[in-house]
Amino acid sequence: MSWQATVLTLFPEMFPGPLGLSLAGRALNEGTWSCTPHDLRPHGLGRHRAVDDTPFGGGAGMVIRADVVDAALSAVQAPADVPRVFMTPRGRPLRQRDVSRYAEGPGVVLLCGRFEGVDERVLQARNIEQVSIGDYVLSGGETAALVLLDACVRLLPGVMGSDESGVEESFSDGLLEYPHYTRPAVWDGHDVPEVLLSGNHGAIAAWRQKQAEEITRERRPDLWSAWLARREENEATAA
């Protein structure tokens, strides 16, 4: 059975978008996953199918109505164990471990916001996870949903070739990945680190580990502290 992505959106034509190409596109054509956009508009009210209204308490912008989202969620009828996720800058930051959890399950139902967002009551009542792809504000949840789907689909069985294995990637062990080099060995006067040409697999692994640690410490102190704490814990358990 294929992994099923259902996307509730005011812009269904944005899907699968770039995910119809390359690895994800091939997997889509082969039936490894499916992408079903579901238009929120027909669930809108009145002659104009209005999906939004002004915010209680005043303020700028419009808010997508709870009853509209609720009707759309009922219409898609995804099994109960499929996570429902609202893409929002107010959400929990998306992590690789979340991506793995989604990819290991039957699929996801993603809700894309527009305007100021979605009435909070339907998010609570429908037990919808709130997920952010980063500390910046997009104009709509669709591009965020595409990011989440891309990250999930590449983890589905058979999507990545063996030469693109996810085992040693950034975040897989809590560190950012080491740097990569390919031919030519000398480019524009710049050499490849000598150890990588040595054929000594132990030395290469040690160099890569050290690079990963240094890069993580420099660029992501948050990940570095967490990794150090985990290492200490593992050492204490092993002792």
Binding site, annotated residues for S-adenosyl-L-methionine? 113, 133-138
Question: Looking at beta carbons only, is 87 or 175 nearer to ligand SAM?
Answer: 87
For residue 110, give the DSSP letter: E
DSSP-assigned letter for residue 94: P
Nearest CB to ligand SAM, comparing residues 89 and 174: 89
CB closer to ligand SAM out of 12 and 140: 140
Q: Please, what is the minimum distance in Å from the beta carbon of residue 131 to ligand SAM?
A: 7
Beta strands in the chain (DSSP E): 3-9, 33-39, 52-53, 63-64, 84-93, 107-112, 129-132, 186-187, 190-191
Q: Which residues contact 8 (CB under 8 A, 6 or more apart)?
A: 38, 40, 69, 72, 73, 76, 109, 110, 111, 112
Nearest distance from residue 103's CB to ligand SAM, in Å?
18
CB of 143 to ligand SAM, least distance (A): 8
Q: Which residues bind ligand SAM (CB under 6 A)?
A: 87-90, 112-114, 116-117, 132-134, 136-141, 144
Q: Annotated binding site, which residues? A: 113, 133-138
Q: Nearest-CB residue to ligand SAM?
A: 113
Evaluate the CA torsion angle 64, 68, 74, 75 in order and state its sign.
Answer: negative
Of residues 28 and 145, the one with the C-beta less far from ligand SAM: 145
Q: Which is nearer to ligand SAM, 129 or 224 (CB)?
A: 129
How far is the C-alpha of 124 from the C-alpha of 91, rounded, in Å? 13
CB of 222 to ligand SAM, least distance (A): 18
CA distance 99 to 145: 12
Indicate the burial class of 113 (C-beta count within 10 angstroms; 0-12, 13-18, 19 or more): buried
To ligand SAM, the closest distance from the beta carbon of 115 in angstroms equals 6
Q: How far apart are CA 168 and CA 211, in angstroms?
A: 13
